[in-house]
Structure 1
Amino acid sequence: MNELKVAAMSARENAYAPYSKFLVGAAILTPSGAVFSGCNVENVAYPQGTCAEAGAIAAMIAAGEREIAAAYVIAGSPTPVPPCGGCRQKLAEFAGADVPITMATTGGTEQTMRMDELLPGAFTADHMEPRS
């Protein structure tokens, strides 16, 4: 988990958040042992920004990986910040129910939840299966 923490902290330092000043870093580990990181990237047109988790997932996909074994998200806040709703769904696309998602503060506080705790009742590919 230390490798994920270091990768997320490093990515956070590169975040582009001139409007909110809220820097976020994320790192994901795949079953192969590869680590991918991302940071939030804001845009003056707020809905056009990108979350750190989405950036890490995009890097994982671009490298040809398709499964998350663990994730780590860090922000400079008083308490650990959970991924937004959209990022919870993005994580659930590639992470099984028991995958640990650790949320942390730059002050050292950490909270870990399983994917199914973070997004109970997730919309999954099973919902897309045709039924007669």
Structure 2
Amino acid sequence: MSIIFGILLATLGLIAVLKPFLWRKASSDPAKETHLHDYERNRMEIYGRIKYIQQEYDLGNISEQEFEVQYHNFRFQAAELLSQQEQVEKVDGWLEEEILKKRKLSQSSVSAHQLSTDSCTNQNLSERL
């Protein structure tokens, strides 16, 4: 019994220690993930409202006309959120591409600067010798 308890305790400790490292790798940019998660959460809330009014209509608590108006309104809101989320994802993707281009350009210019500095240093050394 104590062996099982010890193994369980060790496993829980290991999970507690490794979880932050594994979680950090899963989400590359917490701000971006949170922002996109907000769109998703809001859309899911709207889908829940659609299900709710569908149930209310099925039970006869709201009229068909009221159901249709609310249903189309909620679907429009969900479509708007989806469109906004897609636009944010496109902009985020474009920004990431631009940042990568700038990094590559900056790394290549640093490498070129190092090469020219190294060649100048080598020339100065050979002239001094």
Q: Same fold (TM over 0.5)?
A: no
Q: Which has the higher strand share?
A: 1
**TM-score bracket, shorter-length normalisation:** under 0.3
Larger radius of gyration: 2
**Taking structure 1 as the reference length, what is the TM-score of the superposition?**
0.22
Q: Which has the higher helix share?
A: 2
